[in-house]
Structure 1
């Protein structure tokens, strides 16, 4: 197995304290937003197999079948198909959606044909892959996920009492759900900026009023008011009001499939996604918003937020977060002292991340896809991780919590 050294990304929305508290390090005063674990070219993990630190991406590229196993290479190509992160949101992230696989391939090919540089600020597609993702809360975690049912949103907009929002409420009550959501989101994102900014200011003031009252909209309106504080005048504030507001407790999760608008507002979590960087933004950002392409990708389907809780799947105590994607599978082990070792299936590559306590990962002497290997052990503290190649047999012992990122076998 390979102990990983991982990069922390200092995005402006990151918390200054959440990752240092988990890692047991001193805060720097700067935001620390995400710690990446995997082989994404933007910030690959590094490991040392005796000849000095090297990129995990280079390790895999040197012998994909040995590291990933032949089945994974046949299914996903010669690269690790998932990216694991610790995500620490101190302020709201952009409101965004991800394309499905066909949309990503089409969009990437189109921008390549037109010669749009990969680093151009108006580029939408950085690769030809989709980006389903799963966020699992380690602390209380707040977010927006999926369109609320139109009649419920109409009632919220009417409760705000802002005259400029009344036409949107009328549409949401009168039109079929998908058409109503499309029409309102299009109007919000296409309206005159100055008029929208004034409406956002009025809506934010009304949201603060409702947040202070003991009513059905207090919690969601507190979130919308906070978003408006961070992004004054941004049309994304009105777009956010179309979405379900959700609070996750530790251990609960959300799955974000293609076309589902969402935003993370605050908290610390484990995030697992397909190995892609394709994001189309709806607002709450100074970055490029391509409204026509966004409207092509968004799925205008009302839905509940869909909070996931883990289900025990094996006798070894593994708890799995079920999702409809093959590129990744997230599970966790909550280990108690004095229990028998927890053996892990060795058919697929995996990354193991400790988030609490102290856990030992032990590899057997007959490990390795080619039958080679020696007895090794790595003791992980919170925030530490290892990569285990396909075919390597490992087991867990100790007292603490381990998240396991792997493929659907």
Structure 2
């Protein structure tokens, strides 16, 4: 939009009513958007459902046993934030009147013409495996949007982080069931582990169905030969789903009598679990035997860059990503929803140890009282902060250069203050916006998670 057109549109726009969030305000409550995908947790156990009562749409009431998967907190068109006291008014519309005030001059200079927060902040509640997927980089995102703007709604990349929350999950795969709060498949396992699985599991090699590609991989494991066999497996899942289902059924029948001491016992247990969710799907073979299983304890995090295969499995997480909703699905969705060829051409076939994906936690330099830590991926768009307040606790966080979104995940009466403006006793699930360049103080007992722009130097 040109600089000439912008003031004309602003002049024609209806005046902003006095809703308790004045145009010069420094902080105010906002509302996120709930998404109820089938892989979400039922309302009785969904953290998303619990938080959305205060942080979601107006008059949100969870339906009994309905799956609630995601609470979005961003300005992306697929799930935009709105004003708390005027739920029909999108936050991005407020920003349009004065982007530099609401987003910060550094952000506006870096991304000219934007009226968006450069990230999407989310809470996820996961009961079963998400689609096996990857997110395109910026170049591919632009191409996909140009070719199919209905399916790929923006041009951006979508690197993301996930931080584990919640209570322990049913980790029966060799982890500590009293400590693991998140499990998920991320990236390709080391080549020797994949080779060992292919050698030991005849049903897996049968499902790949390309003897020449298998022999080349065994004799020379590499990204190139891994791509050939992984592509062969997923393509057969699309073209010959009955054959893949037969291989899955044969595997499960055989491993039902196998010993827990089998070196592949974890992969067998994972295949059995996933088959209960997506019977006969090619992902039942692809994820457990080709990918890393990542386990996180509460407060641990992973970073997933563009073009990396992943499929979260179970748990509650804080998630944050660059502002995009582009996704390439390859399994655990109906065949018509798979972008298989693009996925296979896009994915990075680099095998890595599990430790590669871990994003360390560090003290936040802007924390005045040392009660806030940060998760900082190698990106400009965002970092995630975590504040823990003990009884009658207080924390002050010095100013960020960009906009900040906060959600109260634990606690029932957190107070936010910026330069004399106060929001009193924000309940669990309450979502708050803080303008750039302002120091913010929080008081109370509980936990606050924040997303803000990274170092916009």
Structure 2 Cα separation of the partners of residues 218 and 21 of structure 1: 36
Find the counterpart in structure 1 of residue 445 from structure 2: 399
Structure 1 Cα separation of the partners of residues 67 and 224 of structure 2: 40
Q: In 1, are the aligned partners of 2:408 and 2:426 still within 8 Å (CA)?
A: yes
Q: In 2, are the aligned partners of 1:348 and 1:389 still within 8 Å (CA)?
A: yes
Deviation of 1:75 (Å): 1.9
Q: Which one of the candidate residues 198, 203, 206 is aligned to 1:164?
A: 206
Deviation of 1:151 (Å): 1.3
Find the counterpart in structure 1 of residue 218 from structure 2: 173
Deviation of 1:26 (Å): 6.2
Find the counterpart in structure 2 of residue 369 from structure 1: none
Worse overlay, 189-198 or 81-90: 189-198
Worse overlay, 256-265 or 327-336: 327-336
Find the counterpart in structure 1 of residue 269 from structure 2: 222
Q: In 2, are the aligned partners of 1:160 and 1:206 still within 8 Å (CA)?
A: no
Instruction: Report the CA distance shift for 1:68/1:158 in structure 2 as closer, same or farther (over 3 A).
Output: same
Structure 2 Cα separation of the partners of residues 258 and 224 of structure 1: 26
In the TM superposition, what are the counterparts of 1:201-216 in structure 2 within 5 Å? 201-206=249-254, 213-216=260-263
Deviation of 1:21 (Å): 5.0
Structure 1 Cα separation of the partners of residues 264 and 428 of structure 2: 37
Q: Which one of the candidate residues 13, 18, 21 is aligned to 2:46?
A: 18
Q: What is the total number of aligned residue pairs between the two structures?
A: 389
Structure 2 Cα separation of the partners of residues 169 and 179 of structure 1: 12
Q: Which one of the candidate residues 83, 98, 101 is aligned to 2:138?
A: 101
CA shift digits 1:180-236 (9 cap, x unpaired)? 2201111012223322221222234455555x6134433333222211222122222
In the TM superposition, what are the counterparts of 1:1-400 in structure 2 within 5 Å? 1-16=27-42, 17-19=45-47, 20=49, 28-48=64-84, 54-76=89-111, 77-109=114-146, 111=147, 116=148, 118=150, 123=151, 125-139=152-166, 140-162=181-203, 164=206, 167=211, 170-191=215-236, 192-206=240-254, 213-240=260-287, 241-286=289-334, 287-305=336-354, 306-314=357-365, 315-316=367-368, 317=370, 318-358=372-412, 360-365=414-419, 375-400=421-446
Segments of 5+ residues of structure 1 without an aligned counterpart are 366-373
Segments of 5+ residues of structure 2 without an aligned counterpart are 1-26, 54-60, 167-180
Find the counterpart in structure 1 of residue 19 from structure 2: none
CA shift digits 1:376-397 (9 cap, x unpaired)? 2243333221111212331122
CA shift digits 1:4-34 (9 cap, x unpaired)? 2222111111101222456688662211111
Q: In 2, are the aligned partners of 1:261 and 1:298 still within 8 Å (CA)?
A: yes
Structure 2 Cα separation of the partners of residues 31 and 174 of structure 1: 46
Report SS of the residue matched to 1:341. strand
Q: In 1, are the aligned partners of 2:186 and 2:291 still within 8 Å (CA)?
A: yes
RMSD of Structure 2 on Structure 1 (CA): 2.4
TM-score, normalising length: structure 1? 0.87
CA shift digits 1:274-311 (9 cap, x unpaired)? 11011011111114223221122101100123223411
Q: In 2, are the aligned partners of 1:310 and 1:331 still within 8 Å (CA)?
A: no
Q: In 1, are the aligned partners of 2:399 and 2:436 still within 8 Å (CA)?
A: no
Q: In 1, are the aligned partners of 2:401 and 2:453 still within 8 Å (CA)?
A: no
Q: In 2, are the aligned partners of 1:346 and 1:394 still within 8 Å (CA)?
A: no
CA shift digits 1:56-107 (9 cap, x unpaired)? 1222223221110111122233311101111011111100001111111122
Instruction: Report the CA distance shift for 1:206/1:304 in structure 2 as closer, same or farther (over 3 A).
Output: farther
TM-score, normalising length: structure 2? 0.79
